[in-house]
Structure 1
Amino acid sequence: MDPERLALLYVELGEARAQAAVARAMEDLAVTLERMKGYLRAGRSSGLVQGAHRICDIADPLGLSSLSRVAADVGEAAGAGDKVAQAATVARLERVAGRSLKMVWDLQDMSG
């Protein structure tokens, strides 16, 4: 995680707007991850690729670099059609997303 990116977001938007933006991003992240798990079960590689791009779009501005990297790995596995790698990287994405959410909320709690 890059806490400086998250701090920059707070500076740019102000505390109240940044908190609202982060909350929306975290909700969007959770919804996207659930959709991706459905795409995985349904064998929809194109949905996994789209979801991976969406997660990168959410994670990057928040400084969640590990989450973005794992999402990119999911996209690569989906693009290659490797079902085993898709399952493994989506499972890893779930774990990293959980840790990332916890870190963001912990940082928000410390700030205010």
Structure 2
Amino acid sequence: MGLGGSILQAEYTLIKRIVMVFFFSVTTPSGIALGIALSKAYKENSPAALITVGLLNASSAGLLIYMALVDLLAADFMGPKLQGSIKLQMKCYIAAFLGAGGMSLMAKWA
């Protein structure tokens, strides 16, 4: 989603956009094909597989947290409307912390 948005917002030439869109649209099907090809050799309880899955999960979670904090919340929290009102800032901080806590609680059950 982030890559698609970046491609649309960037002011690249038509050729660069076409190449980016091509690779953007080919990535998922090629990943699926690779997964199908490796499924017979994959042992889900082996130490190497557990470490790999753990590292991939941690890096994707870190990227999602970065996107949420830097790209989404920072723009809202640094806006002139929010900067002009301490009361509104406190409400937004409380809402953000409650939302993060709620998501953490749901992750604990999932």
Question: Fold match, TM over 0.5?
Answer: no
Q: Is the helix fraction higher in 1 or 2?
A: 1
Highest relative contact order (Cα 8 Å, sep 6+), 1 or 2? 1
